[in-house]
Amino acid sequence: MAEKQLDREAFMCPICLDLLENPVTISCGHSFCMKCLQDHWDQQVECNVPSCVVSFCESHLQPHRDVTMLQKHQLVAPSNKLQENICHEHNKLKEIFCRTDQLLICYLCCIDQHKGHDTVSSAAERAHRQEELEAKTDLLKNRVQHKEANLQRLQQEAQDINRCAQRAVQRSGDMFKEVIQLLEKRRSEVEQQIRSEEQIQLGRVQKLQDQLQQDVTELKRSISELEELSNIPDHNQFILRCLLLSTDPETTKSKTPTSHQRYFEDVTRALSVLGDKLKFTLREFEIVVQKFL
């Protein structure tokens, strides 16, 4: 009975609702009476029919609104891909979605090859998938917000790192500068102390040199006197002259020079110990710094 109804509808003009007279079929697949169609065309309404087989101007769409037979048709917005929405087997609009086979089908496919499958209208499937899409979009937006927040925190962290690093560089520079200045000051003081001790020791040595030189001169004079005395031929004169000798040469002893180089050796040794301690401290400092890098 349903097939007979479909066959009858296939031979009815959607405009006059009578059996087709001189039927003609337009590109959308609908058939009209030649006279009915000509009457509409004779209205001379400009109509740009695009290459898409089911996109029409307002005048050609009007029968779908006025004619009872066509009011059941589902109208969609114009598209340049409507040919893809036409079932190639039945030349009907694909307005049903088969969830079983994940395919868009027409209503004839639904009662034929896809009979018994899980099917819904394309609008319902669109609504379902639209909800999923919106949920995914919201999820992605939340992820974007989360990552943007993390990005902002990382940017702030980068600024904090730069600021802390600059402060550490400044403080370390000031510290090393202070240490260098202290070492330079101490080096200058030690050098002055060494030079001062050098002058003291050189003065002491010079004094000893002068004393020894004087002693040598006195001793040489005594030697000359003794040699002269030994050459006196007269025995009595020789004896008298010996009695007149004022001082025994052995009594003109001077201090024996002693070495004071130990002072400088002690200073050098102390500086060496200080240098080792300083190197050790710097190595310990480097280890501590590495732990925080």
Tokens of 275: 């240098």
- What's the pLDDT tens digit per position in 129-169? 999 999 999 999 999 999 999 999 999 999 999 999 999 89
174 and 251 in a common domain:
yes
270 and 256 in a common domain:
no
User: Is residue 176 predicted with pLDDT exceeding 60?
Assistant: yes
Strands (E), 113-214: 119-121
Rounded Cα gap, residues 181 and 140, in angstroms: 60
Give domain status of residue 175, yes or no.
Answer: yes
The count of residues in the chain is 293
More confident residue, 79 or 165: 165
270 and 237 in a common domain:
no
Residues 6+ apart with CB under 8 A from 86: 29, 53, 54, 92, 93, 94
274 and 256 in a common domain:
no
For residue 62, what pLDDT is reported?
64
Per-residue confidence band for 3, with pLDDT thresholds at 50, 70 and 90 = very low
Q: What is the mean pLDDT of residues 167-174?
A: 91
146 and 48 in a common domain:
no
Nearest partner of 178 among 167, 189, 170, 166, judged by Cα: 170
Write down the residue that tokens 């590495």 correspond to: 290
For residue 118, what pLDDT is reported?
94
268 and 226 in a common domain:
no
269 and 229 in a common domain:
no
Give the lowest-confidence range in 90-104, 150-164, 230-244, 252-266.
252-266
User: Is residue 93 predicted with pLDDT exceeding 90?
Assistant: no
Q: What is the mean pLDDT of residues 218-245?
A: 87
Tokens of 91: 């030349």
User: Is residue 230 predicted with pLDDT exceeding 60?
Assistant: yes
For residue 245, what pLDDT is reported?
74
Q: What is the mean pLDDT of residues 112-129?
A: 92
156 and 54 in a common domain:
no
- What's the pLDDT tens digit per position in 7-58? 455 566 767 667 778 777 765 566 778 787 777 666 544 443 333 334 555 5
Identity of the residue numbered 233: P
User: Residue 17 sits in a domain of what CATH number?
Assistant: 3.30.40
For residue 20, what pLDDT is reported?
75
291 and 243 in a common domain:
no
Per-residue confidence band for 260, with pLDDT thresholds at 50, 70 and 90 = low
Tokens of 102: 């994940």
Rounded Cα gap, residues 74 and 25, in angstroms: 19
Give the count of domains, the chain. Answer: 3
Triad 72, 103, 61: Cα angle to 5°: 25
Look at the pTM and tell me if it is higher than 0.85: no
Residue 287 is part of which domain span?
261-293
Numbers of helices and strands, H then E, in the chain: 7, 5
Rounded Cα gap, residues 248 and 68, in angstroms: 164
Per-residue confidence band for 250, with pLDDT thresholds at 50, 70 and 90 = low
Give domain status of residue 191, yes or no.
Answer: yes
Nearest partner of 22 among 38, 35, 11, judged by Cα: 35
What is the 8-class DSSP label of residue 79?
Answer: -
Q: What is the mean pLDDT of residues 82-86?
A: 78
For residue 6, what pLDDT is reported?
43
Rounded Cα gap, residues 109 and 130, in angstroms: 25
Give domain status of residue 104, yes or no.
Answer: no
Element (H, E) at 103: strand 103-105
